[in-house]
Amino acid sequence: MKDKEQIDIEGDNHFSSNIKTPLRADAFDKSDDEKIKNIQHHFKMIMEEMGLDLTDDSLSGTPYRVAKMYIKELFYGLNPANKPKLSVFDNKYGYKKMLIEQNITIDSACEHHFLPIVGFANVAYIPKDKVIGLSKINRLVDYYARRPQVQERLVLQILNDLQEVLDTQDVICLSNSKTPLCFL
- What whole-number distance in Å separates Cα of residue 93 and Cα of residue 44? 57
Put the strands of the sheet holding 148-149 in their side by side order.
148-149, 99-110, 116-125, 171-177
Residue 18's pLDDT band (boundaries 50, 70, 90)? confident
Kindly tell me if the per-residue pLDDT of 4 is higher than 80.
no
Kindly tell me if the per-residue pLDDT of 180 is higher than 60.
no
Mean pLDDT for all residues in the chain: 91
| Ranges of H-type helices in 70-180 | 134-145, 151-166
Q: 60: which residues sit within 8 A by CB, 6+ positions away? A: 54
> Which fold is adopted by the domain 2-82?
GTP Cyclohydrolase I; Chain A, domain 1 (1.10.286)
Residues 135/173, Cβ–Cβ less than 8 Å: no
Domain boundaries, the chain: 2-82, 88-183
Q: From 90, 161, 172, 56, select the one nearest 124 (Cα to Cα).
A: 172
Kindly tell me if the per-residue pLDDT of 60 is higher than 60.
yes
